[in-house]
Amino acid sequence: MKVLVTGGAGYIGSACVEHLIQEGHQVIVYDNLSEGHRDAIHPDAHFIHNDLASSIDLHGCFQKHNPEAVIHVAASALVGESMANPSKYFTNNVANAVNLLDAAVNHGIKKFVFSSTCATYGIPESLPMAESLPQLPINPYGESKLMFEKILLWYQKIHNVEPVIFRYFNAAGATPERGEHHRIETHLIPNILKVALGQSSECMIFGTDYDTQDGTCIRDYIHISDLAQAHIKALNPGIQGAFNLGNGGGYSVRQVVNACIEVTQRPIKIVELPRREGDPPILVANASKASNILRWSPGLTSIHSIISSAWDWHLKHPHGYLD
């Protein structure tokens, strides 16, 4: 298929593009490079350096390239930042996404795959989390993603769009070629690995007084190649709806730190700090819907193998992408 991938220069998007191309799809990457990196874009993808804020550029792109499906990964995606700057989240993740959706609908696109998040659930009523749980986000990031999920459902009714909504849990790991490089890094695993690389002196643990076994937050870490495989399956005819994408197992922040020490064989100094605003204590997926309907199941399930892949990439690219 010919697929337009927004955010295809970013961490998750670039891995999706890599796997799509490996499977024989044709890919157009649409990215403003605000977070992404030119070097992360697969050389066989056609790159359009533009912004989703521009409806004119979007229409031009659809007219010229005629994609058959859209995978919308581009977004602002930091919980902490969203608590300080909600406007950025509602503009990028809702208003700009509507521009994209309108351009797609005007060009007759049906299949629209959207990167949503487990942050749409807020503090879950029960664990592991199924898609049927109430969605009550506790930060503007989760709210912005939920708003666009709802918009997609209206477009499904009114314009016959076929939305596939993926609620990612914590994306982690690397392919041999593509890894995690944010210009300002806030994510747990790359921040720990920076200490192992000698680029930071210590790793911060945000909150040690949660109601969990060791007092730190629990997350479900899912490898980016597994996420990418789900996107490829989403392109199959007849697939629609919302799916959780996670491993179904949770690791606390302390367990992740310890696994990083074991994988890297290097000391990692930690400092315990107060809770970060907007963080739910535990997020773990029940991904059985993706398994039953999408026929998707993750391949890289152990936290050690996920961290190992990230560590290999960071050792090869100690300063990330060079652009």
Q: What residue ranges bind ligand UDP (CB under 6 A)?
A: 79, 170, 186-188, 191, 203-206, 217, 219, 253, 276, 279
Pairing of strands 218-219, 251-252: antiparallel
Q: Taking the CB of residue 209, how many other CB atoms lie within 10 A of it?
A: 11
Q: Does 221 participate in catalysis according to the annotation?
A: no
Q: Do the Cβ atoms of 285 and 166 come closer than 8 Å?
A: no
Q: Do the Cβ atoms of 251 and 170 come closer than 8 Å?
A: no
Cα first-last separation, the chain: 30
Nearest to ligand UDP of 212, 240 (CB atom) = 212
Nearest to ligand UDP of 16, 27 (CB atom) = 16
CA dist 15 and 108 (Å) reads 27
CA dist 180 and 54 (Å) reads 27
C-alpha 58, offset from chain centre: 22
Tokens, residue 197: 């690389």
Least distance CB 143 / ligand UDP (angstroms): 14
Nearest to ligand UDP of 141, 155 (CB atom) = 141
Nearest to ligand UDP of 83, 105 (CB atom) = 83
Contacts of 158 (CB under 8 A, 6+ apart): none
Nearest to ligand UDP of 4, 310 (CB atom) = 310
Least distance CB 197 / ligand UDP (angstroms): 14
Query: Which residue among the candidates 121, 141, 168, 221 is catalytic per the annotation?
Result: 141
Least distance CB 4 / ligand UDP (angstroms): 25
CA dist 174 and 305 (Å) reads 10
Nearest to ligand UDP of 41, 287 (CB atom) = 287
Contacts of 110 (CB under 8 A, 6+ apart): 69, 160, 161, 162
Least distance CB 117 / ligand UDP (angstroms): 8
Exposed, middle or buried: residue 319 (CB in 10 Å: 0-12, 13-18, 19+)? exposed
Beta bridge partners of 71: 5, 113
Q: Do the Cβ atoms of 208 and 272 come closer than 8 Å?
A: yes
Tokens, residue 187: 């994510």
Nearest to ligand UDP of 63, 213 (CB atom) = 213
Q: Do the Cβ atoms of 118 and 246 come closer than 8 Å?
A: yes
Least distance CB 135 / ligand UDP (angstroms): 16
Beta bridge partners of 164: 113, 241
Which residue has the closest beta carbon to ligand UDP?
217
- Picking from 39, 102, 100, 41, the residue whose alpha carbon sits closest to that of residue 72 is 100
Task: Cite the active site residues.
Answer: 141
